[in-house]
Amino acid sequence: MNDISKAVSSDWRRHFEGISSRWDDYYRGTDYDSYAKQERARYAVAFVEKYVPVGKKVLDVGCGTGQVACMLAQKGYEVVGIDYSSEMIKLSRQNAESMGLGAKTKFVVGEIEALVSKGRRFDAIVALGYFEYILAPIPVIAAVNALLGPSGICIAQIWNRWRLPRLLDFRDGPCKFFNPLTYVSKALQKAGDFSKRVLGRPRKNMAGPPPLIRKWYSPVLLDRLMSEAGLSKCDHAGHLFAGLAYDGKRMVPDRAAFVLERLMVELARMRIFGKLQLLGENYIGVYSNRG
């Protein structure tokens, strides 16, 4: 992992250490944000069941508090969960023990590169909410491939750059050019630059903590990176179409969002509208190392 990725991982590690105690709430909540976590977990478990016989070994990368790992263990799989947050791993072990799954699960703190050096092999690797925190994905995907046993699969979820909510975002998405406020904002920015450069007036102080860096992928980019590592796509799914927002604020209340989401998912399942899956905010690809 390069220096930039190490710095990003360090920032995110601190972030997740801080929110670890609230992470399980996503799997109990009934709001749209909770639905996002629950639904991607359901898709991942369904893909494992579809392609991997019960009893095989599964690695859950970026396992969080172990909810997905425990779901797989309940299905009869032998699961290892790994996360770089020690607090997340602590809660994973507690969740597994409380469900009586301690013998079917193992949770470790660290990065997947360490598992490669130990010669570990898995029949499936699940990576949900993981790749967006990896700025240099090529060595990580190579490690994923090295960890897969014969005919193994990787189930990888990304936050989709092509997501429908972004395409319809009139502030930050492509449609911003149809928003008159976009041009007002640009004019004010240029006026501030002029004031600083010509009149010597300082611009408004925008000091604050730097934002956490997240990498947005597209389905095409994910497919290409996996293909270059020797993995071929055998399945995919896209969901989360209703998270429309403006200036960081949700425009659709949860009840309406669920109705819209169900409609879009049903349309995406039809052959004629199948390409809609490429526009889901959560895009999940299934990749195999079968020759």
pLDDT category at 162 given cuts 50, 70, 90 is confident
Q: Are 236 and 277 in contact (CB under 8 A)?
A: yes
Q: Which residues, other chains included, contact 215 with Cβ-Cβ below 8 Å and sequence gap of 6+?
A: 131, 132, 133, 134, 135, 137
pLDDT digit string, tens, across residues 136-157: 889 999 999 999 998 899 999 9
Per-residue pLDDT, averaged over 200-229, amounts to: 75
pLDDT attached to residue 124:
97
pLDDT for 163 beyond 90: no
Q: Are 96 and 105 in contact (CB under 8 A)?
A: yes
Tokens representing residue 84 in the block = 């770089």
Report the mean per-residue pLDDT for the chain: 84
pLDDT digit string, tens, across residues 274-285: 888 988 889 999
pTM above 0.85, yes or no: no
Neighbours of 244 (CB within 10 A): 17
pLDDT for 287 beyond 70: yes
Report d(CA 2, CA 145) in Å as an integer.
19
- Where are the strands (E) in 99-230, listed by range? 105-109, 122-127, 148-159
Per-residue pLDDT, averaged over 237-253, amounts to: 80
